[in-house]
Amino acid sequence: MLTLVIKLPKSFNVEYVQSNAWIDMSNIDDSLQMILDDILSEYVNSYEEIVDSAVEEDNEEIREITSKSGVALLKRLKSKVSEELEVSKGIEKEFEATVFRTWRKPLDLLDLLLYLSLEVASEVNSVNRSETSSKNNHVQAALATQQTKACLIFNEIIHLLKSGFPSGAHSHWRTLHETACISYFISKHGKDVAKRFLDYEIVESYFQAQAIHEHQQKMECKTLPESEIKTLKKKINKMRRLYGPDFVKKANYPYGWIPRTVLKTRSLRGIEKSVKLDMLRPYYDIASYNVYGGPKRFMFKPGIRKKGKKGVILVGPSNYGLADPGKSAAISLGQVTACLLLAGSTIKKLVIVEAMRNLVDEICDAFCEIQAEFSKDSKTVS
């Protein structure tokens, strides 16, 4: 069963520890306020009376004051903070070096996993180009597309981890998990579903073109030429005739490629359950809190441990909390790449799958070892 190709380690859990990158909102530097006071005093006659009172934005005098003051403020900031920004860049580099020293073993192993996965992608694409029959191998083509996408996402996650942004990496993992679920689904249901998946790119392109055309004036972007839109419409009509109106119905986006006979509830949750990856749903939801604007947006940050102190928010990098996003990313990329390798399994491919399984286990163990050290001591590890 494909879902057992990359097993979940027993230590796969969510653990949050304190970060040393706290910003105390009650001690904000007042230099910006001082600059504003100085600038406004130049443009406002009765400064003391107007500066802290409510104003109407459409007032002509207020518009003139804010326009001039805004230009002056930006000019003053550019000259004032340039040196501070250079110092900040130096601190960032030093911090990244600390993160790498702390997490070097699992981070190096993540690089090795990416290298192996890219080699697999290169080999599969090379074979596909040399084999005329590959045009009809829709499963392998679809899985190759997913695996290439997964490699890019994984690469981005590695860079976020190396920079000390575990919450950003965890949020990126959501897309990697979605890619893994779809890869398993395509592997499970074969060539007909794979072909529908590939053909659905036309539907997505058409919906995107419609949205750009509808909002082009608001977005100030250039819409597609009318000739290209007509070409897309012809292709959409072809898809409608081939698969039926349900395939191109906007209400079914982005899962219109899935036949209702295959999956009644066409959603990520439905796909997860179908391929037995729904055990990762709680972790997916926790990662979502980092990008959604709901009330839990600061409750589950991998880089911090929740404290009772109010008015404290992590707004910078952290040397803590890399374990969960790192393990999650390794597992998901391993799953996607295994799906691709097993689409046309040979003894060589099976050996690569086994090596990758062992590598993912080693990555998870390495992350857990370092995370365990943090659990012993809440002080910064440098």
Q: Per residue in 223-232, pLDDT tens?
A: 678 888 889 9
295, part of any domain: yes
Sign of CA dihedral 240, 242, 246, 251: negative
Average pLDDT over residues 240-259: 96
150, part of any domain: yes
Q: What pLDDT band is residue 152 in, cutting at 50, 70 and 90?
A: very high
Extract the runs of DSSP E, i.e. beta strands, from the chain: 22-24, 312-314
54, part of any domain: no
pLDDT at position 301 is 59
CB 141 within 8 A of CB 128: yes
| Count of structural domains within the chain | 1
Average pLDDT over residues 8-12: 40
| CB neighbour list of residue 340: distance below 8 Å, 6 or more residues apart | 120, 121, 124, 140, 143, 144, 146, 147, 183
Q: What pLDDT band is residue 89 in, cutting at 50, 70 and 90?
A: confident
**pTM (2 decimals)?**
0.81
- pLDDT tens track for 320-375: 889 999 999 999 999 999 999 999 888 999 999 999 999 999 999 999 999 988 87
- pLDDT tens track for 186-213: 999 999 999 999 999 999 999 988 888 8
Q: What pLDDT band is residue 308 in, cutting at 50, 70 and 90?
A: very low
Name the average pLDDT for the chain. 82
* Rounded CA separation 31/172 (Å): 35
- Ranked by mean pLDDT, the top range of 6-15, 45-54, 220-229 is 220-229
pLDDT at position 74 is 86
Q: What pLDDT band is residue 173 in, cutting at 50, 70 and 90?
A: very high
335, part of any domain: yes
Extract the runs of DSSP E, i.e. beta strands, from 227-361: 312-314
178, part of any domain: yes
CB 181 within 8 A of CB 268: yes
* Rounded CA separation 328/333 (Å): 9
Whether the predicted pLDDT of 241 surpasses 70 = yes
- pLDDT tens track for 118-148: 999 998 877 766 554 455 589 999 999 999 9
82, part of any domain: no
Q: What pLDDT band is residue 236 in, cutting at 50, 70 and 90?
A: very high
83, part of any domain: no
Domain extent, residue 125, equals 2-47+61-74+93-376
267, part of any domain: yes
Determine the 3-state secondary structure of 24 from DSSP: strand
pLDDT at position 131 is 56
Whether the predicted pLDDT of 16 surpasses 50 = no
Weakest mean pLDDT among 100-114, 138-152, 276-290, 311-325: 311-325
- Alpha-carbon distances, residue 251 vs 4, 150, 235, 236, 309 (angstroms): 34, 27, 19, 15, 45
Q: What pLDDT band is residue 239 in, cutting at 50, 70 and 90?
A: very high
pLDDT at position 30 is 57
Average pLDDT over residues 272-287: 93
Whether the predicted pLDDT of 264 surpasses 60 = yes
